Structure 1
Amino acid sequence: MRFCPVNISFTDVWEHGTSRCFHETVSAAVCSLIVVVFGAVQLIIYYKYATPAPRPPGWGLSEERRKSLSFLYQVQIGLTYLLAAYFILRLALQGNVLEGPIVGYMILSSCLWWISFMMSLAIMRIERKYMLPSVPTRGHGLVLLIFWTALFVSENLAFLNLNREKEWWFHVTSTADKVEMSFFIVRYLSTLILFVLGLKAPGLTTAYNAGEDFGIIDEENGQARGTTFKNLYVKIKTLAPFIWPRKSPLLQMSVIFCFTLLAFGRVINLYVPIYGRAIVDSMSGEKVVFRWDLVLIFVAFKFLQGGGTGGMGVLNNLRSFLWISIQQYTTRAVQVELFAHLHSLSLRWHLGRKTGEVLKVMNRGTDSANSLLSSVLFSILPTLVDIFVAVAYFVVAFDYRFGLIVFITMGLYIAVTVMVTEWRTKFIRSMNLADNAKEARSVDSLLNFETVKYYNAEVYEVDAYREAIYKYQKEEWKSSATLNLLNTVQNFVVSGGLLAGSLLCVYIVAEKKGLTVGQYVLFTMYILQLYVPLNWFGTYYRLIQRNFIDMENMFDLLREEKEVVDAPGAGPLVLPSPTPQAGSADIEFFGVSFGYSPYRPVLKSISFAVPHGKTVALVGPSGSGKSTIIRLLFRFYDVQGGAIFVGGQNVKTVTQNSLRAAIGVVPQDTVLFNNSIKFNIQYGRVDATEDEIIAAAKHADIHNQILTFSDGYETVVGERGLKLSGGEKQRVAIARTILKSPHFILLDEATSALDTQTERNIQSALYHICNNRTTLIIAHRLSTIIHADQILVLNEGEIIERGRHEELLSKGGKYAQMWEEQLTNKDAEKREEAPDTPADGSVEAVRPDHHH
């Protein structure tokens, strides 16, 4: 039995196309090698390490979506069985319905194809039912994806044989040709559907990747996300205000001129190869003519165009120069808007976020906005226009077959790029999440530098950061590996189209059927000029897709709803009169209830009033709700029951800015900017003079301490003020509040970090700024609030006692108990600090083992 038909040699590879013997043998051998050898390795790995999938495919999706995915999976299985049966059926029909005897390559290729499809079925089923413990299922493995890609590419390579007269059936001149053509259509459609469904992976949509379209889960909230371009209109609408410079006519003119240059560049791209053809034709005829004018025009056009992508041309450089200002406008608008939005969000939101992760999202999102504009407007859009121009030109000036080749190649290339890139989206998203976690881990560790040192946790932090890097690199590897797969598929398509078009053009020129050498030069120049940006199309599309992914988190931030907002028509706070009516109150709480979560109420129907110019103190154990009252008054949160009035106005009916401008707060935990002491004090009133800053520092009893520093008021306090002691930080905060000179004063454990002597010094300063000002104090040391006009004792979110210091002591209640405990503790501390004294009154030497 011969391996190839009579008069056909396996070694004769090319003659206006390839022989079926060579084509089918090589295709079957390559595809079977991929799926059998590497598939066997995959099955071994699954046999050793895989565990049953914990949840059925489609878990967590709607019933309709689950049925749809199950149907698509059955289509995958059915098409695989169909293709396996096809090669056996075709072999059986050979010699009967089909023309020609059975030869060796038919038996070999049929067996290889059958084995390949059976192996692919085994891999599909094991991927559906099992999963590797370290890698959650996110789609089919590389073996199946490469196999289906190679299978589809092998069917497309058959188009290279359109002009081969022997063996192939494209001319459809007999019954056998019609049967073969029908078989080819079935095979082509089946392999195309398998390729597309392989990217979708309907049989693997488990709880780990149950996405609306391509099995994508948002790992932050567990909700399914669709493709990158899902809700494209909403994303563009969100980004649109930052693109068009509405307030700058000059920038608007720059945008219009940039698009004019872009359109002019498309015309230049068409005429460069046309003049190249004219130059060649002027030299290839019987009479050679020195056409210096054509050469000058050609060089001038190349000067304007630059390289194949226009990367060095005058038009591109001028457009890039004009676009700099527009790009900066977009960056500035996006960053300012996002930064302002972050500052408008509630304290609850900020307490639940990681600063490093937010900054990473902010930076990546703003960078991606600019990159997106450049890629779409100056890469993708011009490439698509060039493709349509090229197809139209080749159909009109050459032959419809050239236009068809260009159109099929470009369309197939774009389709493959889009589908594979969409499939890769899940890996890029996972890599971004791992990158966010890595950055957040490093920032969080460095911000807590002192805590790490306190507990000797350097090794633990380094190991945790190393583990975060490992997780990121694992996701990065998946992204890079799938990128290589995409590049390989793209190369197959581009090379096939270039080969088909070049062979057809050379054949027509050689047979003298209407094309000249100059037209061949025009064709090759135009195709190469077109293919260079087309090769970048995948890169730009991936960049656009990556930009959309990067912007998703930024869009999430922009869509984050503000918990505390000004009511419609809210006006500024009207400050109380310096001489109010008798009995009027500046601050009033009426039945206020609040809880940070629905299941844990913090305040329970709190009611009290702070009269004008008076001081009210809040005391009680930790967790009783004292600091929460301060936060509600400053409107970090809105009350869930009752109302708060300031100057007779409900805080919900006035603007937040006016309310907070009238209130000065000295918090318990003071956080400073990583800037100079002068800057941190001046932050209380940014337009304050240096003399006013120094005066505020003196009142806060920190001026002399600042002068002992090497740089004085220019001393940098470090990250979060870590270079200063707790007492120094608190005194800076007090100076800042003194400089602000607010109408109301809120002191939240303002002297908690101070020693006794400094506390006494600052008490006079606090008395100075609180004098004749409405003041609300949270105190732990009861000795600091004995002067208060009223003391409220809180316990478990309720006011259990109220009155002046003497009144509460006389009641003998909770306040009297707390006072007695503090006196007892203070006496004990004094006894510990005093030397031991024997009973006879003599002073005994301090023993070496006596420690304070």
Structure 2
Amino acid sequence: MRRSSYPEQEVSTINWQAFKLILPYLFEYKKRIALAMFCLVLTKIASVYLPFILKDIVDTLDANSDDKVNSALVIVPFALVAAYGLVRLSIVVLAEIRDTLFGRVTERAIRRIGLKVFRHLHSLDLDFHLSRQTGGLSRDIDRGTSGINFLMRFMVFNIVPTLLEIVMVITILFVKYGIWFAVITLCSIITYIAYSIFATELRTRYVRAANIADSSSNTRAIDSLLNYETVKYFTNEEFEAQAYDQQLCTWEEAKIKNRLSLFALNGGQALIIAIAMTSMLALAANEVAKGVMTLGDFVLINAFMMQLFMPLNFLGFVYREIKGSLANIENLFGLLAQSPKVEDATDALALNLVEHSEDSALAATSQASIVFDNITFAYNAKRPIIKGISFRVNAGEKVAVVGQSGSGKSTLVKLLFRFYDVDSGSISINQQDISKVSQQSLRSHIGIVPQDTVLFNDSLFNNVQYGCPTASKEEVLKAIDLAHLADFIASLPEGLDTVVGERGLKLSGGEKQRVAIARTILKNPQILVFDEATSSLDSQSEQAILTAINEVTKSRTSLVIAHRLSTIIDSDNIIVMSHGEIVEQGNHQQLLALQGQYSKMWQLQQS
């Protein structure tokens, strides 16, 4: 059974360093944050003052309860009620202003972090992307950005103001009502926070386990759907469903444990709040009975406790969510911590393919020569793929590489594009070592028609235009015509607007390769690479494509990886590889005359 290889995570600690990574994005808007914090402080001052207005209202009504009602006595409590309403309105307005000011900061930070992760993923090497699990990676990014959003907003708007309010309330209770009111409040808050931290630390492992199970099930589902045809070919729908259900079962168990631990946490917090409220109100009622405190003081203390424990209760939720958010964004920052194995040198220059010449006619001809100088390479140190290969592709030449499967032909293409660095030796273009030039400039001068063409889930027009996003419609149509794709497109009901499906699955292999050829023609590079470019074409289509390829490669340096020898008989030089080494080379006639491996391959294919 195929198993998920989604990595297990450490569950004992949480990476609090995430705060340090987020803060620089916040401090880009210092003035906005300062103004938002000013509004926050004003909001808390108004919030703390609100119970005092309530106390004055109650005391005024209580004092006048035995007096004869007159207009003067009625005005005072109603004025206080109006003041109460204005203060409560100001709290809401100031909070909205604060949210509006800080919202821009949060959204811009999320945008920048998301873009940074996206750019970083594209900067990572091919080996990382061959090993990745798309579904799990997607979930990690989604949860990570959501976690960052929660972390930034609630740390600033809930934890900080709640702590500020706690300090203000305890100070007021101590100064105005004595030490016991302050002690009970402080002890209940410390107990509440300590219990929340202890219980949340225990349940973090269940949050992580649920996340791992969620990513694994999502990865399995996407992997199965991407291989829809394979599943159908082997009638393994039920096998896939059972495997997916196993992943969901693991997720379900983790979520059940998560929910039970949440019940224990909420229950403990509710008990602490109930004991604290009961103790405070009992003490206040006793003071009122003694005549030390007024009825308004009793109402004020009740309002303070309600006002304090409501955000404190929410603080428990926020703390739990922050812990969960930190667990979620660990993988996101883990991605940012990944270093590509192939990096530009610190002094890397742009690849220069323009040679100075007084003959302007040479400007239309490729000046790119490629030299493979005694290169060795292995994906795994125990299994060498390329063993000391040396050959040259002169400017404007067409050189083919042939050999049995596994001989290392396609690896040469990956090394030329610098998806991997050679273990020893060097590859140079126009006497410039490709390891010393920027990857962007290197790849911008090379066009490829790969063996396995993957298209975007977009229109045919946009897939071709991807070769040069700034190209005009006329240029795209010309490339389509050169790739002998025009007749096929004309036969489609939606023509150029036809959506090709995910990975181009709505097109046949030959049609996809012709789109790839058109895309490469549009890029108009000086170096062309064809990696089994006609392997999926019928004989008639192959001849049409070969005609187009020959037209395109006339003035360009070309490297052709081929299986069908009939497609490369016009090459200037043919390299024959076997087990990572060059065993023969020469043109078609010379190799046939050798009566060696190439000759045997030719006779086998002709028969």
Report the Cα offset of residue 585 of structure 1: 7.0
Report the Cα offset of residue 537 of structure 1: 1.2
Q: Paired residue for 2:320?
A: 542
CA contact (8 A) 2:368 2:394 kept: yes
CA contact (8 A) 2:11 2:208 kept: no
Q: Paired residue for 1:333?
A: 112
SS in 1 for 2:385: strand
Q: Paired residue for 2:70?
A: none
Q: Which amino acid aligns with 2:196?
A: T
Report the Cα offset of residue 578 of structure 1: 8.0
> Matches of 1:359 and 1:657 in 2, distance apart?
26
Report the Cα offset of residue 364 of structure 1: 1.0
Higher alpha-carbon deviation: 392-401 or 235-244: 235-244
Question: Do residues 566 (structure 1) and 566 (structure 2) align?
Answer: no
Q: Which runs of 5 or more structure 2 residues have no equivalent in the other structure?
A: 68-72
Q: Paired residue for 1:144?
A: none
Report the Cα offset of residue 446 of structure 1: 1.1
SS in 2 for 1:730: helix
Matches within 5 A, 1:587-626: 587-626=370-409
> Matches of 2:6 and 2:218 in 1, distance apart?
16
* Alignment partner of 1:577 out of 329, 345, 355: 355
Q: Paired residue for 1:300?
A: 86
Q: How many pairs are equivalent?
A: 587
Q: Which amino acid aligns with 1:527?
A: M
Report the Cα offset of residue 338 of structure 1: 0.6
* Alignment partner of 1:516 out of 285, 294, 318: 294
Question: Do residues 636 (structure 1) and 406 (structure 2) align?
Answer: no
- Change in CA separation of 1:743 and 1:751 when aligned onto 2, cut-off 3 Å: same
Report the Cα offset of residue 403 of structure 1: 0.3
TM-score, normalised with respect to structure 2: 0.94
- Change in CA separation of 1:378 and 1:278 when aligned onto 2, cut-off 3 Å: same
Question: Do residues 741 (structure 1) and 524 (structure 2) align?
Answer: yes
1:591-610 CA distances to partner (integer Å, 9 max, x unpaired)? 11111112111111111110
Report the Cα offset of residue 385 of structure 1: 1.1
Matches within 5 A, 1:312-331: 313-331=92-110
* Alignment partner of 1:794 out of 562, 577, 580: 577
Question: Do residues 480 (structure 1) and 256 (structure 2) align?
Answer: no
CA contact (8 A) 1:585 1:648 kept: no
Runs of 4+ in 1 over 6 A off after TM superposition: none
- Change in CA separation of 1:712 and 1:224 when aligned onto 2, cut-off 3 Å: closer
SS in 2 for 1:589: strand
- Change in CA separation of 1:303 and 1:224 when aligned onto 2, cut-off 3 Å: closer
Q: Which amino acid aligns with 1:649?
A: Q
1:574-630 CA distances to partner (integer Å, 9 max, x unpaired)? 0043869xxx97111111111111211111111111011101111011111100000
SS in 1 for 2:441: helix
CA contact (8 A) 2:9 2:208 kept: no
Report the Cα offset of residue 252 of structure 1: 4.6
Q: Which runs of 5 or more structure 1 residues have no equivalent in the other structure?
A: 1-218, 306-312, 825-852
Report the Cα offset of residue 689 of structure 1: 1.0
Which structure has more relative contact order (CA 8 Å, sep 6+)? It is: 2
Report the Cα offset of residue 220 of structure 1: 5.5
Rg comparison, structure with higher value: 1
> Matches of 2:475 and 2:356 in 1, distance apart?
24
1:718-758 CA distances to partner (integer Å, 9 max, x unpaired)? 01001111100000000000111101000000000000011
> Matches of 2:227 and 2:477 in 1, distance apart?
32
Q: CA RMSD in A?
A: 1.6
- Change in CA separation of 1:519 and 1:296 when aligned onto 2, cut-off 3 Å: same
1:9-42 CA distances to partner (integer Å, 9 max, x unpaired)? xxxxxxxxxxxxxxxxxxxxxxxxxxxxxxxxxx
Q: Paired residue for 1:821?
A: 604
Report the Cα offset of residue 567 of structure 1: 0.4
Matches within 5 A, 1:750-769: 750-769=533-552
CA contact (8 A) 1:361 1:553 kept: yes
> Matches of 1:357 and 1:223 in 2, distance apart?
13
Q: Paired residue for 1:106?
A: none
Q: Paired residue for 1:724?
A: 507
SS in 1 for 2:211: helix
1:619-653 CA distances to partner (integer Å, 9 max, x unpaired)? 01111110000001001111111111011101111
CA contact (8 A) 1:227 1:425 kept: no
Higher alpha-carbon deviation: 462-471 or 683-692: 462-471
* Alignment partner of 1:428 out of 201, 207, 222: 207
CA contact (8 A) 1:375 1:543 kept: no
Question: Do residues 692 (structure 1) and 478 (structure 2) align?
Answer: no
Percent pairwise identity: 39
Report the Cα offset of residue 426 of structure 1: 0.7
Matches within 5 A, 1:16-165: none
> Matches of 2:576 and 2:541 in 1, distance apart?
26
Q: Paired residue for 1:395?
A: 174
Q: Which amino acid aligns with 1:721?
A: G
> Matches of 2:229 and 2:104 in 1, distance apart?
44
- Change in CA separation of 1:437 and 1:740 when aligned onto 2, cut-off 3 Å: same
CA contact (8 A) 2:6 2:216 kept: no
CA contact (8 A) 2:368 2:527 kept: no
> Matches of 1:489 and 1:276 in 2, distance apart?
31
Report the Cα offset of residue 294 of structure 1: 2.2
CA contact (8 A) 1:424 1:482 kept: yes
- Change in CA separation of 1:506 and 1:531 when aligned onto 2, cut-off 3 Å: same
1:72-129 CA distances to partner (integer Å, 9 max, x unpaired)? xxxxxxxxxxxxxxxxxxxxxxxxxxxxxxxxxxxxxxxxxxxxxxxxxxxxxxxxxx
Report the Cα offset of residue 411 of structure 1: 0.5
- Change in CA separation of 1:682 and 1:222 when aligned onto 2, cut-off 3 Å: closer
Q: Paired residue for 1:652?
A: 435
Q: Paired residue for 1:131?
A: none
1:802-828 CA distances to partner (integer Å, 9 max, x unpaired)? 11111111111111111111111xxxx
> Matches of 1:317 and 1:685 in 2, distance apart?
46
SS in 2 for 1:704: helix
Question: Do residues 701 (structure 1) and 484 (structure 2) align?
Answer: yes
* Alignment partner of 2:333 out of 555, 559, 581: 555
> Matches of 1:687 and 1:314 in 2, distance apart?
48
- Change in CA separation of 1:333 and 1:359 when aligned onto 2, cut-off 3 Å: same
